[in-house]
């Protein structure tokens, strides 16, 4: 019996053509976040189970966590999100680190769930976090980074909407209505599910759970169009920072338990795909869970599956060919002798794949075409003696005999063009 | 009770200064292998348990594998090596892929073992594999890539030694001595442990396990200085390819069960650290385990922990500062107003971290110095009106007042220098 060639369910194999897209996306992400002064960090994909039990929310911990006991009896988990890991790392060096501290990572994350469009069991997620800035300017920067990322891929402001709310403001309102902690929690849960429920059903549930008086008060508050002061101020700063697609939305809640104030979600405005792509917010309490003095923190996570869907839907992914510049096609048994000239091509910066299969010329050429490489360079005894080589453009079939240096410049020019 | 700030035992947190080193190393690895036409792929860190049970060797599967049942009752494992995954992927598209197929990846791998110098529970390992080339030219290329990588970091040929053997040749010899399959396996196991055993003890074990006659024959064969023909031919090609540190070593075996012919290991020649750093070889049978027609394959894996130890021991790691070019120090409450000019700096390619903490000037400057950033740019009302800004070099304390454009060029020049 032979082994299955399928990857684990809900997880992805990346063949070079897939990996190229990921590398393109991650390259842009790194470029943008680094332009804002963020620096990359990383942490192990296995963490102690406890760090999720604390604050990641019931659904994740009870139903979606890949957790098990290691051979030493430690309860461990494959990380479902990065925020607990980065909070742990900041707590470990709370005193030594320089603030404002700007950190980013693109970790691989796992959740056990039913695979569906835009949601797999594993994905990579850009995590961008700003530690040590208490005020709205920090919130503004984080949202500005999210906006700059989408624009860097060529998205227009009208392609997406950044919906902002304030948990801090909501909590104040909940308190003014006299809600208990349990009721507050319940309200957030209901709001989080709002988009999946019929409006009538939603209102009925509110009244049912909170009683006539408080329920109606809350529903009125949720319908009010008045923008809370902190959100209005944030929108003003965002506007001055060139962020045009931000707006207040009292229905934004975010599933995770640890958010403490400003939260936001970015929606695709395409009517075919009008859903939340990613989001984030302020979570000032998490570092404190690790025994360190709390650090004000705001951040967001952006998954690569959702991002790629968005870019594809809006036609924003470029065609990407292989990184390899040329296939060296060997005429006769010249592998060893060809090494010197191939070495020179490589030193000049060319990426050259040598066909060392020993097959006939046409088989070598067919493979080169199949691989998608742009050029073929023919190398045989005659060429090695004369120092002149045939360069064939496999895209349009043209061929030229050129000395080494001209081959290098011809390929470099075509790359730039 | 607060949560521990420690990472999981034997695993690594990468703060920006650690991640920078990793990025530097991975950047070089990518550059070199891509210059040989290799393309990056990836696969999930979770795989079906079965693909390791088949060929990864008893020690790994029984003692070192992180395996568990998922919530759907599937037996899964966190990958301890990449070779089974890439073999699976090639088998899945056996017919469509172009050969010679050159693939590389730098996966994160896990083994449950006692952490020690150069061996952690997790590491990243460059995997370079060439599929579809049967002959020695393929073996030569793979060894040439390993050699080119070490040289790209500035290592001299005398800093390391590439020891080569042929399992194919050994098997022929074993057969000519009339060894059974079990005895062959036993021989390889003994040889694999040779470096950890006293020479006398080693010979005694050989005689004990294989009997006087065969045992002595084998010991003589192992002491023979005659280079087997295929290894001699490989050394000739390597020599023409500029690989100077390769030599035959009959004691090289490699622990893994799947190697079929040429194998090699790279040793650090430093007497303080004279040990095997990494290796590889030919494993023609692995793709076939997945029900596809076998593909001749040769490859190697190079771990990042060992590589970093080698580079540090030989003084080959450069000093690496933060990627951020400058901290923008805000004078007064000008965060929103400063966005336009900071945005222009970023568009010109500068990486700028804005201090949005609202603290006093000297606290902002202290943080900037602590962060290791080279420059500080001071931005207040006056500067925004005049369009001229103080640029302070935090390394030597010099300060200049410059218009925007000159700030960009000053920083870009200092980067190049």
> Are B354 and A289 an interchain contact pair (Cβ–Cβ within 8 Å)?
no
d(CA B30, CA A158): 37
B344 to chain A, any CB pair closer than 8 A? The answer is no
CA of B236 vs chain A CAs: smallest distance (Å)? 9
State the burial class of residue A290 (Cβ atoms within 10 Å of its Cβ: 0-12, 13-18, 19+): buried
Angle at B162 (CA atoms; ends B158, B164), nearest 5 degrees: 150
Tell me how far apart the alpha carbons of residues A360 and A366 are, in angstroms, rounded to a whole number.
10
Whether B322 shows a pLDDT value over 90: the answer reads yes
A354 touches B at CB < 8 Å: yes
- pLDDT of amino acid B138: 96
- Is there a contact between B409 and B391 (Cβ–Cβ < 8 Å)? no
Give the per-residue pLDDT at A256.
60
- Any A CB within 8 A of B370 CB: yes
Cβ contacts (< 8 Å) between A87 and chain B: which residues?
none
C-beta of residue B311 within 8 angstroms of C-beta of residue B347: no
Average pLDDT over residues B354-383: 96
- Name the pLDDT band for B191 (thresholds 50, 70, 90): confident
Instruction: Tell me the C-alpha distance between A142 and A298, whole Å.
Output: 7
Q: In whole angstroms, give the CA distance from residue A324 to residue A45.
A: 32
Reported confidence tier of residue B248, pLDDT bands at 50, 70, 90: very high
Q: Does residue B226 surpass a pLDDT of 80?
A: yes
Length of chain B as a residue count: 417
Q: Scanning the structure block, which residue is given the tokens 């793979």?
A: B142
Q: Cα B344 from chain centroid? A: 38
Give the model confidence (pLDDT) of B346-359 as tens digits: 999 999 999 999 99
Chain A residue with minimum CA distance to B152: A347
Contacts of B92 in chain A (CB under 8 A): 5-6, 13
Residue B345: name the closest of B377, B314, B313 by CA.
Answer: B377
Is B27 part of the contact surface with chain A (CB cutoff 8 Å)? no
List the beta bridge partners of residue B278.
Answer: B266
The yes-or-no verdict on residue B407 having pLDDT over 90 is yes
Of A109-113, A277-281, B282-286, B296-300, the one with minimum mean pLDDT is B282-286
Q: Is B340 on the interface with A (CB under 8 A)?
A: yes
Q: At how many degrees (to 10) do helices A136-152 and B335-347 cross?
A: 30
Six-digit token string for B128 = 């370079």
Cβ separation B44–A289 shorter than 8 A: no
Q: In angstroms, rounded to a whole number, what is the distance separating the alpha carbons of residues B191 and A63?
A: 48
With an 8 Å Cβ cutoff, are B237 and A135 in contact? no
Q: Strands, E, within A344-387: which ranges? A: 352-354, 375-379
The interface pTM score, or ipTM, of the predicted complex is 0.94
pLDDT at A257 over 80: no
pLDDT score for A373: 96
Closest-CA residue of chain B to A368: B98
- Per-residue model confidence (pLDDT) at position A63: 87
d(CA A364, CA B50): 36
pLDDT digits (tens, 9 = 90+) for B142-174: 999 999 999 999 999 999 999 999 999 988 888
Residue of chain B with shortest Cα separation from A130:
B356
CA nearest to A22, candidates A108, A103, A93: A108
The pLDDT tens digits for A56-78 are 667 778 889 999 999 999 999 99
Residue B37: its chain A contacts at CB < 8 A? 324, 327, 351-354, 373
- Determine, for residues A42 and B13 on separate chains, whether the beta-carbon distance falls below 8 Å: yes
What per-residue confidence (pLDDT) applies to B56?
64
Chain A's closest residue to B363, CA to CA, is A99
Cβ within 8 Å of B, A 163-182: none
Cβ(B253)–Cβ(B188) under 8 Å?
Answer: yes
B28's tokens: 């070089």
Residue in B7, B15, B350 closest to A44 by CB = B7
User: Is any Cβ of chain A less than 8 angstroms from the Cβ of B387?
Assistant: no
Interchain contact, B353 vs A22, CB within 8 Å = no
Query: By the CB < 8 Å criterion, does A244 face chain B?
Result: no
Query: Which residues of B are less than 8 Å from A61 in CB distance?
Result: none
Question: Is B39 within 8 Å of A322 when comparing Cβ atoms?
Answer: yes
CA nearest to B280, candidates B64, B161, B127, B135: B127
Distance from CA of A48 to the nearest CA of B (A): 6
* Average pLDDT score, chain A: 93
How far CA B272 is from CA of A386, B309, B310, B366, in Å, comes to 49, 12, 11, 41
Question: Rounded to whole angstroms, how far apart are CA atoms A42 and B13?
Answer: 6
Greater model confidence, B195 or A301: A301
Asked if the model's pLDDT at residue B86 lies above 80, the reply is: yes
Closest residue, chain A, to B356 (C-alpha):
A137
pLDDT digits (tens, 9 = 90+) for B229-240: 999 999 999 999
Kindly determine whether residue B357 and residue A46, on different chains, have CB atoms separated by under 8 Å.
no
* Structure tokens given for A85: 């890991």
Residues B259 and B281: beta-carbon distance below 8 Å: yes
Residue A155 · residue A314 · CB < 8 Å = yes
pTM of the model: 0.94
Give the per-residue pLDDT at A1.
62
The token duo for B348 is 């010109």
Mean pLDDT, all residues of chain B: 92
Closest CA to A246 of A333, A142, A169: A142
- Say if A324 is an interface residue toward chain B (CB within 8 Å): yes
Interface contact A195, partner B, CB < 8 A: no
CB pairs under 8 A between A and B: 289
Mean pLDDT of all residues in A290-314: 95
Query: Residue B351: closest CA among chain A residues belongs to which residue?
Result: A35
Q: Are A368 and B132 in contact (CB under 8 A)?
A: no
- The DSSP element (H or E) to which B58 belongs, if any, is helix B58-58
Long-range CB pairs of A215-219, under 8 A, 24+ apart, other chains included: A217/A177, A218/A174, A218/A177, A218/A187
Task: Output the pLDDT for position A185.
Answer: 82
Please give the share of chain B, as a percent, with pLDDT higher than 90: 74
Q: Does the beta-carbon distance from A44 to B322 stay under 8 Å?
A: no
pLDDT bucket at A54, cuts 50 / 70 / 90: confident
């Amino acid at each position: 019996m032979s082994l299955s060639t399928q990857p684990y369910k809900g997880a992805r194999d990346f063949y070079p053509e897939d990996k190229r897209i990921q590398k393109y996306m991650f390259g842009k992400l790194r470029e943008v976040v680094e332009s804002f002064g963020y620096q990359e960090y990383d942490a192990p994909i296995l963490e102690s189970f406890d760090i999720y039990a604390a604050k990641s929310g019931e659904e994740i911990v009870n139903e979606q966590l890949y957790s098990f006991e290691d051979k030493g009896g430690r309860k461990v988990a494959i990380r479902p999100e990065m925020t607990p890991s980065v909070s742990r790392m900041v707590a470990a060096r709370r005193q030594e680190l320089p603030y404002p501290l700007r950190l980013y990572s693109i970790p691989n994350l796992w959740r056990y769930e039913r695979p569906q469009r835009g949601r797999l069991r594993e994905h990579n997620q850009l995590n961008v976090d700003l530690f040590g800035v208490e005020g709205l300017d920090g919130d503004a920067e984080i949202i500005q980074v999210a906006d700059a990322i989408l624009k860097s891929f060529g998205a227009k402001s009208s392609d997406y909407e950044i919906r902002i709310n304030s948990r801090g403001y909501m909590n104040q309102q909940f308190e003014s209505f006299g809600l208990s902690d349990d009721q507050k929690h319940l309200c957030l849960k209901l709001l989080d599910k709002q988009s999946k429920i019929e409006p009538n059903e939603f209102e009925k549930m509110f009244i049912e759970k909170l009683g006539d008086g408080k329920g109606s008060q809350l529903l009125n508050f949720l319908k009010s169009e008045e923008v809370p002061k902190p959100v209005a101020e944030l929108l003003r700063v965002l506007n001055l920072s060139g962020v045009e697609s931000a707006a207040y939305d009292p229905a934004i809640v975010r599933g995770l338990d640890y958010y403490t104030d400003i939260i936001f979600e970015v929606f695709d405005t395409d009517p075919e795909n009008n859903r939340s792509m990613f989001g984030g917010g302020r979570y000032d309490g998490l570092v404190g869970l690790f025994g360190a003095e709390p650090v004000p923190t705001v951040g967001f996570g952006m998954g690569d599956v959702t991002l790629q869907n968005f870019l594809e839907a809006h036609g924003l992914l470029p065609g990407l060919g292989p990184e390899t510049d040329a296939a060296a096609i060997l005429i006769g048994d010249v592998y060893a002798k060809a090494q010197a000239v191939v070495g020179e091509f490589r030193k000049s910066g060319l990426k050259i794949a040598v066909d060392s299969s020993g097959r006939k010329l046409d088989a070598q050429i067919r493979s080169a075409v199949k691989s998608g490489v742009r050029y073929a360079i023919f190398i045989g005894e005659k060429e090695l003696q004369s120092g002149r080589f045939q360069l064939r453009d496999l895209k349009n079939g043209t061929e030229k005999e050129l000395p080494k240096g001209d081959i290098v410049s011809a390929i470099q020019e075509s790359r730039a063009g």
